[in-house]
Amino acid sequence: MNRPIRPSRILVHLALILYTVIALGPILLILLNAFKTRRAIFADPLGFPDARTFTTIGFDQVFAKSDFGLYFLNSLTVTVVSLGLIVLIGAMAAWALTEYRFRGNTIIGLYLAIGIMVPIRLGSVSILRMMVELNLVNTLTALILVYVAQGLPLAVLILGEFIQQIPRELRDAARCDGVSEYRIFGSIILPLIQPAIATVAVFTMVPIWNDLWFPLILSPGDGKQTITLGVQQFIGQYVTDWNAVLASLTLAIAPILVLYLLFSRYLVRGLTAGAVK
Amino acid sequence: MTTSLESTFPLEVATARSRFPIHVAVFLTPALLIYSVFSIYPLVDTIRLSLYASDQTGAQHFVGLVNFQTLLTDPAWSVHFWNALRNNLIFFAIHMVVQNGIGLGLAMLLSLPRLTGGNIYRTLIFLPTMLSVVIIGFVWQLILNPLWGIAPNLLKAVGLGSLFGPWLGQESTALITISLISVWQFVGIPMMLIYAALINIPDDLLDAATVDGAGPFSIFWFVRLPLILPTLGVVSILTFVANFNAFDLIYAVKGALAGPNFSTDILGTFFYRTFFGYQLQVGSPTMGATVATAMLIIILMGVLIYLFGVQRRLQRQMF
């Protein structure tokens, strides 16, 4: 069955395709040219690399001249540890605030909400001072602590909304069986909120992985750079080496690209459902 | 474990509001501790520091609002502050009009009934948002680089070659160019949020409007737009907070000096320079705290206007 194709629909698709090209073009351009010789980069920037123009010299240089693997590992450590703490600590707080009615409940909720609207960045002067006193400058710990504090408010909000939807009977039945509050949380609630955890993960991971500000002021050296800062410093140094610049950008883009294409449905679901309320 | 005691009173949690059971404290303490120490305390301490000044020995003493007076009236500071604030407002205005306008347009197209491939378009258009602002900054720096020639050649291909210039390097165009790079990256956020609001509008409403003889334009203007106003409010305040807190893109593309001649300087880069110093000027934690507090006040004003002005009125209109 062929439905008649309305001309207005073709225009809609043309507009959407045009914008998709605008959105993806610049990124594809970088990925394409990272695998080409310097000559080909300039002579034919829009062409695909072929047998004659293919090279990985840029990548060789990046790995020879910088500690990319280490920066990548630093970013991975900071992101994964922060995320784990945000989810666990955030779920505990969200559970306490939604499940138990106690004095100060609302005030604590509002107190946490401040962090959603006010960027923690503005406290950087004091954060740096504190990290100097705690002897945490140029450590990943400093970054993790700040990112956990930054990510908690939104995590508590999203997880709290989700916990509210869990049927009461489940926990009351467990309580009648004499199960402790800690085990109810650990064995019943945590497994049940996994979908919300995925949403929190996407919302929390991306800003942490991509952040430049805190790595720049808290751990700018000593091999503790994250990948974002590492790329920034590398490109600043080798700005005229086009192969190396394109390769370093590609290395920074590729992992996010893969992860995004794998997990985009969680993000889309999170954006279109929970977060909008 | 102390837990066995409480679990013998299963209803306690639901009834006793006044008591503060130990397990509630256990669940809340880690979050409150980390959040208070590394988020709230630094913010409060920053405000405190903005009321102090340090002398040559590094000792800090209370000076009241003198720092703010310096920031707003001393030519050495105020020129940069007002310049950064003005640039930041332009940065914000471009995001509000272009980013949220395109986002709204794309969301309208994507929410058309029975659109094939909508999911693919959404996923792909959102992709740049996931990447680091720093990476995006460098990507566009390369593309707009006259040396590489991609941008001028593409413009020539569509007959607009004469329009090209070193947009990122000229004082008159640098800020607009940087704003548009940021718009390009973040268009996906308003698109997604508005799309979600649009598909949540019940079909009955749209059908009823159609039955009543409303054309597509009046359906948009009189039915859909009023219904998504709260979402547009959320998008606006998110844009506002993000823009007045921006730093990474300008630092990556133009460095801390936000050149040429401070034409791309916004509050974030001004804060960074004040705090850490640059070239000959020594950084000052207390003046840095003053700038941060000023930014905090600006952001809070925006949030309050949104909460008590925009959101209230929208809710009244809705119900």
> In this complex, do B128 and A27 lie within 8 Å of one another by their Cβ atoms?
yes
Can you give the CATH number for the domain in which A83 is found? 1.10.3720.10
- The answer to the question of residue B228 being in a domain is yes
Interface of B with A in 53-92 (CB under 8 A): none
Interface of B with A in 105-144 (CB under 8 A): 106, 109-110, 112, 115, 117, 119, 121-128, 130-135, 138-140, 142-143
Last residue of a domain, one of B64, B81, B116: B64
Can you give the CATH number for the domain in which B81 is found? 1.10.3720.10
**Do B52 and B177 fall into the same domain?**
no
How far apart are the CA of A174 and the nearest CA of chain B, in angstroms?
A: 9
- The answer to the question of residue A186 being in a domain is yes
User: What is the structure's pLDDT at B261?
Assistant: 86
- The answer to the question of residue B11 being in a domain is no
Please report the ipTM that was assigned to this predicted complex: 0.87
**Do B57 and B88 fall into the same domain?**
no
Strands B277-278 and B60-62: unpaired
Last residue of a domain, one of B38, B64, B90: B64
**Do B150 and B234 fall into the same domain?**
yes
Share of chain B above pLDDT 90, in %: 43
How many domains, chain B?
Answer: 2
Would you place residue A273 in the very low, low, confident or very high pLDDT band (cuts 50, 70, 90)? low
Residues of chain A in contact with residue B126, where contact means CB-CB under 8 angstroms, are: 264, 267-268
User: How many inter-chain contacts (A to B, CB under 8 Å) are there?
Assistant: 270
d(CA A232, CA A245): 10
Q: What number of other Cβ atoms are within 10 A of residue B308's Cβ? A: 10
Highest mean pLDDT among A218-227, B93-102, B189-198: B93-102
d(CA B163, CA A165): 56
> In this complex, do B197 and A276 lie within 8 Å of one another by their Cβ atoms?
yes
How many domains, chain A?
Answer: 1
> In this complex, do A182 and B14 lie within 8 Å of one another by their Cβ atoms?
no
Give the H/E segment covering residue A41. helix A38-43
Burial grade of B201 (CB within 10 A; 0-12, 13-18, 19 or more): middle
Last residue of a domain, one of B43, B64, B85: B64
> In this complex, do B131 and A27 lie within 8 Å of one another by their Cβ atoms?
yes
B44 three-state secondary structure: helix
Residues of chain A in contact with residue B37, where contact means CB-CB under 8 angstroms, are: 149
How does B294-306 read in b/e, with b if 16+ C-beta sit within 10 Å?
bbbebbeebbeeb
**Do B60 and B209 fall into the same domain?**
no
Cβ-proximal residues to A190 (8 Å cutoff; 6+ apart), any chain: A91
Which residue of A122, A256, A263 is the best one to mutate when testing the B interface, meaning the one whose CB has the most B CBs within 10 A?
A: A122
- The answer to the question of residue A112 being in a domain is yes
- The answer to the question of residue A94 being in a domain is yes
Work out the average pLDDT over B45-67. 87
Residues of chain B in contact with residue A228, where contact means CB-CB under 8 angstroms, are: 132, 134-135
Work out the average pLDDT over B78-87. 94
- The answer to the question of residue A240 being in a domain is no
- The answer to the question of residue A11 being in a domain is no
- The answer to the question of residue B268 being in a domain is yes
User: What is the structure's pLDDT at A3?
Assistant: 59
- The answer to the question of residue A125 being in a domain is yes
Work out the average pLDDT over B131-158. 86
How far apart are the CA of A42 and the nearest CA of chain B, in angstroms?
A: 6
Q: Per the omega criterion (within 30 degrees of 0), is the bond before B260 cis?
A: yes
Residues of chain A in contact with residue B142, where contact means CB-CB under 8 angstroms, are: 30, 242, 245-246
Burial grade of B59 (CB within 10 A; 0-12, 13-18, 19 or more): exposed
Which residue of B28, B191, B307 is the best one to mutate when testing the A interface, meaning the one whose CB has the most A CBs within 10 A?
A: B28
> In this complex, do A156 and B31 lie within 8 Å of one another by their Cβ atoms?
yes
**Do B127 and B55 fall into the same domain?**
no
Tens of pLDDT along A55-96? 888 898 888 888 888 999 999 999 999 999 999 999 999 999
Least confident of A260-264, B125-129, B274-278, B290-294: A260-264
Of the candidates A217, A267, A232, A227, the residue with the CA atom closest to the CA atom of residue A251: A227
B232 contacts chain A (CB < 8 A): no
**In the 3-class helix/strand/coil scheme, how is A105-168 assigned residue by residue?**
HHHHHHHHHHHHHCCHHHHHHHHHHHHHHCCCCCCHHHHHHHHHHHHHHHHHHHHHHHHHCCCH
Tens of pLDDT along B225-265? 888 888 899 899 999 999 999 999 999 898 888 878 899 99
Enclosing domain of residue A162: 73-206
- The answer to the question of residue B17 being in a domain is no
pLDDT at residue A1 tops 50: no
**Do B274 and B142 fall into the same domain?**
yes
> In this complex, do A253 and B135 lie within 8 Å of one another by their Cβ atoms?
yes
How far apart are the CA of A192 and the nearest CA of chain B, in angstroms?
A: 17
Enclosing domain of residue B55: 22-64
DSSP code of residue A218: H
Q: Nearest by CB to B123, which of A19, A117, A264?
A: A264
Q: What are the C-alpha distances in Å from A142 to residues A116, A124, A136, B239?
A: 20, 12, 6, 28
**Do B261 and B121 fall into the same domain?**
yes
**Do B45 and B122 fall into the same domain?**
no
**Do B126 and B60 fall into the same domain?**
no
Task: Tell me the β-bridge partners of B278.
Answer: B281
Would you place residue A148 in the very low, low, confident or very high pLDDT band (cuts 50, 70, 90)? very high
How far apart are the CA of A123 and the nearest CA of chain B, in angstroms?
A: 4
Of the candidates B10, B280, B153, B123, the residue with the CA atom closest to the CA atom of residue A176: B10
